[in-house]
């Protein structure tokens, strides 16, 4: 009998599900894994399964890329028969991608309990597709596991009963702690480490990369940074195609800008550990840099992960070059914010979730 059907779809889901599947097998909880296929390139998907030891998905829905509406609808359509066949006691979703809301919605409509890992994060920016996914997934979840204490306030404001919410810490940081010692050295990924250090850059938010002026400003800033430090830029497929479409690739063709394809987990972890600083619009990197104590400039106006700013090494600048530059200079001059590790980002979040879920299942709640 399947107790839990666990869902992954896109790159940031994989490092969250890895420690959960491991913890479920020791508890034990009978869990099966469904991959929606939202991300399908070997570099965006398969390499994470291999490096993180995630079990092969029991089912792959193979939905691929499309508009948000079509992608979400296709996941729902493909997931429903799987749910009918498996009859699990609950569906577990992680994070905030389209696969998260799509599968949660199918389960909730069928009266199957929904568990959300990484609940309660809010940027308060409804223009972000992930914010819509977060708010809606939390509304239809029966059990909500949070990564920071303040997430409870967000959930209570939206009318969610506190009894359903459990503060357990950050499963993505479980993965980081487990693999930190075997991260791929930056010198190996780069064919030699730049003597003057480097800024590690990732950009993929639609609000930054789908707008020609914003993307131009950001790429010009990278060019300027590359006069002081090397720039290492693993480029997301969305960003690469935007840069090509807007005729901005010449800005990236500079001697000290190292353009890389999307990297594996261990390569990325090594690049983060050894970076002078990180410039990003990712959610995950804000947390990972805080856990590693590496300064981070987040080129967004808001963050759903405020603890990385209040406690960690993160500074929000938005995409405006005039706001990024002074923070960059300050990091070079002073080393940036020191930060401290947030509560329960200790490598044991998945074990806490597994113990809590075992008790919940045994109580007959699902």
| Catalytic entry in 39, 179, 204, 258 | 204
According to the binding rule CB under 6 A, does residue 12 interact with ligand UD1? yes
Residue 148 corresponds to which tokens in the numbers above? 């920071």
Neighbours of 69 (CB within 10 A): 9
According to the binding rule CB under 6 A, does residue 305 interact with ligand UD1? no
Give residue 166's Cα distance to chain centre: 20
According to the binding rule CB under 6 A, does residue 288 interact with ligand UD1? no
Residue 90 corresponds to which tokens in the numbers above? 């609950």
Contacts 24+ apart (CB under 8 A), 307-310: 307/148, 307/150, 307/342, 308/342
Tell me the pairing of strands 90-94 and 59-60: unpaired
User: Which residues 84-123 are close enough to bind ligand UD1 by CB under 6 A?
Assistant: 97-98
User: Which residues 219-238 are close enough to bind ligand UD1 by CB under 6 A?
Assistant: 236-238
Question: Closest approach of Cβ 243 to ligand UD1, in Å?
Answer: 13
CB 245 within 8 A of CB 218: no
Question: Closest approach of Cβ 296 to ligand UD1, in Å?
Answer: 16
In the list 3, 74, 118, 130, the residue contacting ligand UD1 (rule: CB under 6 A) is 130
CB 182 within 8 A of CB 188: no
Alpha-helix runs per DSSP H in the chain = 11-26, 46-52, 68-86, 98-109, 129-139, 151-157, 171-179, 186-190, 206-209, 212-225, 237-245, 265-274, 283-292, 307-310, 321-334, 349-362
According to the binding rule CB under 6 A, does residue 11 interact with ligand UD1? yes
In the list 25, 26, 65, 334, the residue contacting ligand UD1 (rule: CB under 6 A) is 65
Question: Closest approach of Cβ 85 to ligand UD1, in Å?
Answer: 25
Residue 229 corresponds to which tokens in the numbers above? 């430090």
Interface size with ligand UD1, residues (CB under 6 A) = 17
Residue 10, CA distances (Å) to 13, 17, 62, 63, 195 in order: 6, 11, 12, 11, 34
- Of 32-40, 161-169, 301-309, 337-345, the segment contacting ligand UD1 by CB under 6 A is 32-40
In the list 129, 217, 293, 318, the residue contacting ligand UD1 (rule: CB under 6 A) is 129
Residue 361 corresponds to which tokens in the numbers above? 């299942």
Choice between 26 and 65, CB closer to ligand UD1? 65
- Of 9-17, 227-235, 285-293, 311-319, the segment contacting ligand UD1 by CB under 6 A is 9-17
Question: Closest approach of Cβ 15 to ligand UD1, in Å?
Answer: 11
Choice between 12 and 295, CB closer to ligand UD1? 12
Alpha-helix runs per DSSP H in 41-96 = 46-52, 68-86
204 is catalytic: yes
User: Which residues 238-257 are close enough to bind ligand UD1 by CB under 6 A?
Assistant: 238
Which residues are at the interface with ligand UD1 (CB under 6 A)? 10-12, 38-41, 44, 65, 97-98, 129-130, 204, 236-238
Catalytic sites, residue numbers:
204
């Amino acid at each position: 009998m399947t107790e839990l059907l666990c869902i992954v779809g896109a790159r940031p889901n994989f490092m969250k599900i890895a420690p959960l599947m491991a913890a479920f097998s020791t508890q034990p909880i009978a869990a099966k894994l469904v991959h929606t296929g939202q991300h399908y390139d070997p570099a965006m998907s398969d390499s994470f399964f291999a490096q993180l030891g995630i079990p092969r998905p029991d089912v792959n829905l193979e939905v691929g890329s499309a508009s948000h509406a079509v992608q979400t609808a296709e996941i729902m359509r493909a997931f429903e028969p799987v749910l009918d066949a498996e009859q699990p006691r609950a569906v577990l979703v992680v994070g905030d991608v389209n696969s998260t809301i799509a599968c949660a919605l199918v389960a909730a409509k069928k009266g199957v309990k929904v568990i959300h890992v990484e609940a309660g994060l809010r940027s308060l920016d409804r223009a972000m597709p992930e914010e819509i996914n977060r708010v809606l997934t939390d509304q239809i979840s029966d059990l909500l596991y949070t990564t920071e204490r303040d997430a409870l306030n967000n959930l209570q404001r939206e009318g969610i009963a506190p009894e359903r919410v459990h503060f357990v810490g950050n499963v993505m940081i479980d993965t980081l702690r487990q693999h930190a010692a075997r991260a791929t050295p930056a010198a190996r990924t780069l064919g030699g480490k730049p003597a003057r250090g480097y800024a590690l850059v990732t950009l993929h938010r639609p609000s930054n990369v789908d707008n020609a002026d914003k993307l131009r400003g950001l790429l010009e800033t990278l060019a300027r940074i590359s006069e002081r430090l090397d720039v290492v830029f693993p480029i997301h497929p969305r960003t690469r195609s935007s840069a090509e479409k807007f005729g901005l690739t010449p800005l990236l063709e500079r001697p000290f800008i190292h353009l890389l394809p999307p990297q594996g987990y261990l390569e990325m972890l090594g690049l983060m550990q050894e970076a002078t600083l990180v410039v990003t619009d990712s959610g995950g990197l804000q947390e990972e840099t805080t856990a590693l104590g590496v300064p981070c400039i987040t080129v967004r106006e808001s963050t759903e992960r405020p603890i990385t700013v209040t406690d960690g090494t993160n500074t929000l600048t938005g995409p405006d070059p005039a706001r990024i530059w002074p923070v960059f200079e300050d990091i070079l001059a002073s080393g940036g914010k020191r930060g401290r590790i947030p509560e329960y980002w200790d490598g044991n979040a998945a074990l806490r979730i597994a113990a809590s879920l075992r008790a919940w299942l045994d109580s007959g709640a699902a």
